[in-house]
Amino acid sequence: MTAAVYDAPAPGRAWLPRWFTSEHPLPWLLPATALMVVFGIYPALYAIWLSLHKRNPVLRKDVWNPSANWLKALADERVWNALYNTFLYTGLALVIQLSLGLAIALLLDTDRRGYGLLRALMTLPLVVPPAVTAMMFLLMLDGSFGVLSRSLYALGLLSPQYPILATSSTALGGVLLADIWQWTPFMVLIMLAGLRSLPKEPFEAAAIDGASATQAFFRLTLPMMSKVIAIAVLIRGIDLFRIFDYVKVMTDSGPGTATETLTSYAGRIYFNGDFPYASTISVITLAVVIIVSTIFMKAFRVRL
């Protein structure tokens, strides 16, 4: 807006200071700022402050000791295990959800009758509470009566001796199934929007030049969709990185620490009462998210 407009005195309210009238951005932004400072910035700084203390379990007091928790975290194998699990989970989920999402979007991207209904149905998993999704898959993956487990046994892909969620090597895969079911539709939706926004002319030209559908996909569709894909990967990646609900409900980080992620590890420490160390793990999670997303946004020139 031009300066001239909002430098003009507010009609009828000239007795108020200008920064307190609707002509100035301050009153408009004040409620949002207050909310974000009190419940966002302040707790984040508080978490850093807490991480500089050490829990004394005997006295039940947190004592100032700036390096204790950070050195402990560096040497803590469970932190590295959780970091590995979190990255593995995020990476696998992104690759699977993106490729499935793109494939399904290509399949459903037509104006023919009935496909609108199919596209609408595809969005339903998105609104199921993740804790409920976790329960759904817990039921279906139950080792003795779960419908999905029994189908996998019948197909010979799993053995009843090794229930998927109770076996270290497969538990993360079981959790991943719930995530894939719930969030592939997110990718489908965004890819569909991307496909719909593509211009028609290059494809017509390619068809005239005799390009095959496969060539058109890799030479035209994918490059033109790169911005959309980058945005989808960024948003999904950040949410994947803080995975908590599925792990908490389906395996509670187990068996052992096989499905322990940064978030669930922090949660476990919190419930054990060591608030400063839990804060340290939380701050590490925040730092990793900031670093990875900044690198990603710079590398792929994404702007939201």
Partner 1 sequence: MEQSVLHRTLRDIAAVLVVAIFMFPLFWWALTSIKPMYAIFNKDHVVVFDFVPTLINYAVVLLGWSRAEIAIESGSTFGVGGTSSYDSRQTILDSIIVSVGSTALTMVVAVLAAYALSRMTFRTRTGFLNWVLGQRFMPPIAIIVPLVLMYKAAGMRDTDNLFMGYVGLILIYALMNLPIAVLLMKSFFDDVPKDVDEAAMIDGATRWQTFRRIVLPMVRGGIAAAAVLCFIFAWTEFLLSLFLTTIIRTVPVKITTFVTSTGSEWGFISALGTAAVIPGFIFILLVQRHLVRGLTLGSLKE
Contact 54, 63 (CB under 8 A): yes
> Which residue in the set 36, 95, 291, 295 belongs to the binding site for partner 1 (CB under 8 A)?
36
**Tokens for 113?**
């009758």
Please work out the total of residues on this chain that contact partner 1, with binding judged by CB under 8 A.
99
> Which residue in the set 198, 238, 296, 300 belongs to the binding site for partner 1 (CB under 8 A)?
238
Q: How far is the CB of 149 from partner 1 (least distance, A)?
A: 10
Q: How far is the CB of 241 from partner 1 (least distance, A)?
A: 7
69 contributes a contact to partner 1 by CB under 8 A: no
> Which residue in the set 18, 21, 173, 296 belongs to the binding site for partner 1 (CB under 8 A)?
21
304 contributes a contact to partner 1 by CB under 8 A: yes
Beta strand 53-56 with 61-64: parallel, antiparallel or unpaired? antiparallel
Q: Which residue stretch of 8-16, 74-82, 168-176, 217-225 sits at the interface with partner 1 (rule: CB under 8 A)?
A: 8-16
Q: Residue 142 is inside which H or E element, if any?
A: none
Neighbour tally for 226: CB within 10 Å: 13
**Tokens for 109?**
């991207």
Query: What Å distances lie between residue 227 and 54, 295, 300, 304, CA to CA?
Result: 45, 16, 8, 10
12 contributes a contact to partner 1 by CB under 8 A: yes
* Residues belonging to the chain: 304
DSSP 94-129: HHHHHHHHHHHHHHH---STTHHHHHHHHTGGGGS-
Q: How far is the CB of 193 from partner 1 (least distance, A)?
A: 4
Q: Which residue stretch of 20-28, 67-75, 89-97, 166-174 sits at the interface with partner 1 (rule: CB under 8 A)?
A: 20-28
Q: How far is the CB of 44 from partner 1 (least distance, A)?
A: 6
Q: How far is the CB of 167 from partner 1 (least distance, A)?
A: 19
| d(C-alpha 243, C-alpha 241), whole Å | 6
Q: Which residue stretch of 5-13, 53-61, 68-76, 218-226 sits at the interface with partner 1 (rule: CB under 8 A)?
A: 5-13
222 contributes a contact to partner 1 by CB under 8 A: no
Residue located via tokens 């030479």: 219
Q: Which phi and psi angles does 21 have, rounded to 5°?
A: -100, 170
Which residues within the stretch 114-153 sit at the binding site for partner 1 (CB under 8 A)? 114-115, 118, 120-140, 144-145, 147, 150
270 contributes a contact to partner 1 by CB under 8 A: yes
Comparison of 48 and 92: residue with beta carbon closer to partner 1: 48
Contact 281, 262 (CB under 8 A): yes
Comparison of 34 and 169: residue with beta carbon closer to partner 1: 34
**Of 252, 240, 255, 105, which is closest to residue 179 (Cα–Cα)?**
240
Q: How far is the CB of 140 from partner 1 (least distance, A)?
A: 6
The single-letter code of the amino acid at 287 is A
End-to-end Cα, the chain, rounded Å: 22
Residue 87, helix vs strand vs coil: helix
206 contributes a contact to partner 1 by CB under 8 A: no
**Tokens for 157?**
């892909």
Q: How far is the CB of 129 from partner 1 (least distance, A)?
A: 4
